[in-house]
Amino acid sequence: MLTFIKNESKSNGELQQARVISLFSLVGMSVTFVMGVISLFNSNNVLTITLFVSSIIYCLAYIVLKKYNKLNLSSFIIIYSLYILMFYLVFTGGVEQTGPLWIFIVAPVSVYVLGLSYGLVNLLFFLSIIAIIMFSPIEMPQYATYSTEFKVRLILSFLTTTFLSALYEYSRMLSYNSALKLGKKYQQLALSDPLTTLANRRNALTILQQEKSRISRNNEPLSVLLCDLDHFKMVNDKYGHNCGDMVLTELSQVFKQSVRQQDCVARWGGEEFLFILPQTSAEQASVIAEKIRTNVHHHKVHFLKHEISLTISIGISQLTDDQNIDELINNADRNLYQAKKNGRNQVYPQQTTSIDL
């Protein structure tokens, strides 16, 4: 069956993530640059170099995303350069031992950029290294010393921030997925006929336009069948509208089962159906139309104690190079009218020589 709905959900999610990552790299680049300038005035040379290098790395992540469209690589650069910067700040203490305060931005950024589970695994790894740095008995000039109370509280408050970030990311994912599902459902409703669940007229026209563009590139034939139920008004009049609806629903299934996966069956109007047959010439379409007509003819609809059999008439049209979609359908409509005029329960034009599909 032709794909009626474009699956745009993944690209939408990625687009949103790309926006956040580009924003984060710009903010990261600016903040580290400004702090680098401040520490330059404070004559803290190692910190100045570290912050300027970080600023360049964020700029690089931004370029990788904007110019080369590499979302994963950009995320990777942002996250791991952020981790390294944080290790450095905790190790040296930054300005006046305030370096560890920055680690709290790591939790929300990690779960958002890396996703919930991978983000949490990375945070565990991050926190382990932070704990090792803080609790190791290192003897180095750059190494900052913190009180045990400060270290324990820093780890506990980081764990709390991680938990809250994970909770927030989890509910964000839930709402995003349910909005996505709802969107898909409404999109499906907008494109399908509620009674028969077949593609509706609007959807059929979109598919026809797409197929027309495709076949003009590939030089392949495309045919349509316009099919109308014979004397359907009599079914409604005799058995009621509910029975008429049931007939339409059942015959839609017969139609679907009579064609190939790549073909499309649409409800064109009340008791009119359009078959779109890609890679099919008028001669091949005629054979398919005859098969559909026979299948309907042999199908019995059971309603209460009644057994109802119906017939259909079909008009065939093959798209020519100089035709637009309206002309193609009008031609099929004229042929359908001819099939009705010739006595119904038939296909027009009929195939004179036998062909294999």
Ligand X SMILES: Nc1nc2c(ncn2[C@@H]2O[C@H](COP(=O)(O)OP(=O)(O)OP(=O)(O)O)[C@@H](O)[C@H]2O)c(=O)[nH]1
Q: How far is it, in rounded angstroms, from Cα 334 to Cα 316?
A: 9
* Identified catalytic residue from 14, 271, 272, 327: 271
| Contact map string, positions 321 to 340, toward ligand X, x by CB under 6 A | -------------------x
11: tokens are 């690209």
- 250 touching ligand X, by CB under 6 A: no
Helix or strand holding residue 245 (H, E): helix 241-258
- 19 touching ligand X, by CB under 6 A: no
Interface with ligand X (CB under 6 A), residue from 109, 198, 225, 229: 229
Interface with ligand X (CB under 6 A), residue from 62, 88, 112, 232: 232
Q: How far is it, in rounded angstroms, from Cα 194 to Cα 188?
A: 10
Neighbours of 269 (CB within 10 A): 10
52: tokens are 């300027």
Whether the CA torsion 171, 174, 180, 182 is positive or negative: it is: negative
- 273 touching ligand X, by CB under 6 A: no
Burial 299-325 (b: 16+ CB within 10 A, else e): bebebeeeebebebbbbbbbbeeeeee
| Contact map string, positions 147 to 186, toward ligand X, x by CB under 6 A | ----------------------------------------
| Contact map string, positions 83 to 112, toward ligand X, x by CB under 6 A | ------------------------------
Phi, psi dihedrals of residue 89, rounded to the nearest 5°: -65, -40
Q: In whole angstroms, how close is the CB of 253 to ligand X at the nearest point?
A: 16
Nearer CB in complex with ligand X: 188/242:
242
283 is catalytic: no
189: tokens are 């409703």
Interface with ligand X (CB under 6 A), residue from 107, 109, 198, 248: 248
Interface with ligand X (CB under 6 A), residue from 94, 244, 278, 315: 244
DSSP class of residue 349? S
Q: In whole angstroms, how close is the CB of 256 to ligand X at the nearest point?
A: 17
- 230 touching ligand X, by CB under 6 A: yes
Q: How far is it, in rounded angstroms, from Cα 103 to Cα 83?
A: 8
> Where do contacts with ligand X occur on this chain (CB under 6 A)?
195, 228-233, 236, 241, 244-245, 248, 270-271, 340, 344
